[in-house]
């Protein structure tokens, strides 16, 4: 059956104390909205509609940057979740398939959980979880998995509040059923809002089947405050670290490693303490990431060693058995097999050939104030310490540069380039100069 998603993302998020729309606050390097979209991975939706409100333009831009095919519709008045879901009707009412309603501020619903909801054959399926009776969640009134009604906490009796089966808000039905039920929702309740939850009772009144699919409470936790955001980040990191350990990754101090939502790491990778991953990182089998390194938008191949205290920025491509050492930064550069950049260097907008050695303190001077320029270092080259490579420039295969050189012209294959002033030595001048300076200082005190 075809599937579609409706994601409710219209809330302002007043408790976040922010000008940024709530669903654009980030965990693991991606907005909450992107995590909600990821929940639909296993059902491969043909259509996705996001209901926007506060900051709608920014929400739309973020969603379509993630997937240009995502559609958005505005909820101009905040009249409740039922009213919000109904805004998608003009786009999806005639959709021939099943529709799931998710929330943009609920980032932990797992793809396999949503797949179970969509696979259920009831007319209406609701995702529920068990929680302590003291919580203020809406309650699912059910016999087994047979759902009778959903009761909001504000409207629940004492007996209903004692029920531990709670409502996640996630539900699914065929499109024509979903919007027919939403058309019948009213605002006759304590809050005077159009609740999405009313559709369960409406479905029952119409003789339809309604079922509950259960998940862990942790999957349903929403984000309404900065404290919630921090808790969501911690929950994501704990889950992702556990996943990495299961896949054969060595984390020497797991609680100190920060992973991104899309981090991919192969088995037998060793990650030392305090390594931070930004978005877009892939690390292949057998690599070593040493302590206090930061990686973002890069690829690290088999057997490479990075750090400690290294930074790999977007576009860094490390081939097999490369070494990127302490306090080295690499940006938009390809480091070929066996090459070494071991100490205190910056390599940006560059190609470094196989087995080349980049000496300590080397800098590719890639920016002229307006444009970026490329540096090419050939295979087996040796770049002396403290060399400035002023791009655009090429150093040929097996060529060398003398330490302290400023290279502004191409260096042919096999050549040695020396580009520094000739040293002059003045015997005894240092003592004379220091004596003079001390005398001047003493005279000023007088």
Q: Which residues are known catalytic residues?
A: 343
Q: Give the phi and the psi of residue 153 in degrees, each rounded to 5.
A: -55, -45
Element spanning 31, H or E: strand 30-31
Rounded to whole angstroms, the Cα distance separating 8 from 188 reads: 22
Rounded to whole angstroms, the Cα distance separating 214 from 200 reads: 16
Provide CB contacts within 8 A for 53, sequence distance 6+: 9, 10, 11, 12, 74, 75, 76, 78, 84
Q: Kindly state the DSSP code that residue 195 receives in the 8-state scheme.
A: -
Candidates 137, 181, 182; CA nearest to 160 is 137
What are the beta bridge partners of residue 150?
140
Give the position of tokens 């002059």. 424
219: left (phi > 0), else alpha (psi -120 to 50), else beta? alpha
Lookup: tokens for 198: 């009313």
Residue 38 CB neighbour total at 10 angstroms: 18
Give the ranges where 70-206 is alpha helix by DSSP (H): 81-86, 89-92, 111-119, 158-161, 175-183, 199-205
Cβ contacts of 440-444, under 8 Å, gap ≥ 24: none
Give the ranges where 67-134 is alpha helix by DSSP (H): 81-86, 89-92, 111-119
Question: Strand 346-352 to strand 416-417: parallel, antiparallel, or no bridges (unpaired)?
Answer: unpaired
**Burial category of 410 from C-beta neighbours within 10 Å (exposed 0-12, middle 13-18, buried 19 and up):** middle
Provide CB contacts within 8 A for 367, sequence distance 6+: 373
Lookup: tokens for 395: 């150093």
Lookup: tokens for 347: 């390599």
């Amino acid at each position: 059956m075809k599937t579609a998603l409706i994601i409710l993302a219209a809330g302002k998020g007043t408790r976040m104390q922010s000008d940024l729309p709530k669903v654009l606050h980030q965990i693991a390097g991606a907005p909450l909205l992107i995590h909600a979209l990821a929940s639909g991975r296993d059902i491969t939706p043909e259509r996705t509609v996001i209901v926007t409100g506060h900051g709608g333009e920014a929400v739309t831009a973020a969603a379509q940057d993630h997937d240009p095919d995502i559609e958005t519709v505005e909820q101009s008045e905040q009249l409740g979740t039922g009213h919000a879901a109904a805004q998608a009707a003009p786009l999806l009412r005639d959709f021939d398939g099943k529709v799931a309603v998710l929330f943009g501020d609920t980032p932990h619903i797992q793809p396999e959980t949503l797949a179970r909801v969509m696979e259920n054959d009831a007319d209406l399926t609701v995702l529920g979880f068990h929680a302590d009776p003291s919580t203020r969640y809406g309650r699912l009134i059910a016999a087994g998995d047979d759902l009778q009604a959903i009761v909001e906490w504000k409207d629940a009796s004492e007996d209903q509040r004692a029920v531990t089966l709670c409502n996640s808000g996630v539900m699914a039905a065929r499109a024509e059923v979903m919007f027919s039920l939403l058309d019948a929702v009213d605002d006759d309740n304590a809050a005077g809002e159009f609740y999405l939850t009313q559709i369960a009772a409406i479905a029952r009144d119409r003789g339809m089947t309604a079922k509950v699919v259960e998940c862990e409470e942790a999957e349903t936790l929403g984000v309404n405050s900065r404290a919630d955001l921090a808790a969501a980040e911690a929950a994501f990191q704990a889950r992702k670290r556990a996943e990495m350990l299961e896949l054969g990754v060595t984390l020497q101090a797991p609680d100190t490693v920060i992973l991104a939502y899309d981090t991919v790491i192969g088995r037998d990778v060793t990650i030392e303490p305090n390594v931070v991953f930004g978005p877009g990182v892939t690390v292949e089998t057998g690599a070593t990431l040493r302590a206090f390194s930061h990686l973002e938008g890069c690829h690290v191949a088999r057997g490479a060693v990075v750090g400690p205290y290294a930074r790999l920025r977007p576009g860094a491509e490390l081939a097999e058995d490369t070494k990127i050492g302490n306090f080295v930064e690499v940006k938009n550069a390809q480091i070929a097999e066996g090459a070494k950049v071991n100490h205190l260097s910056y390599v940006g907008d560059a190609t470094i050939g196989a087995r080349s050695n980049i000496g300590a303190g080397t800098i590719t001077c890639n920016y002229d104030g307006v444009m970026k320029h490329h540096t090419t270092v050939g295979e087996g080259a040796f770049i002396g310490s403290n060399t400035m490579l002023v791009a655009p420039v090429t150093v040929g295969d097996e060529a060398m540069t003398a330490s302290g050189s400023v290279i502004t012209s191409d260096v042919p294959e096999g050549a040695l380039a020396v580009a520094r002033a000739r040293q002059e030595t003045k015997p005894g001048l240092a003592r004379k100069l220091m004596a003079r300076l001390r005398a001047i200082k003493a005279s000023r005190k007088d």
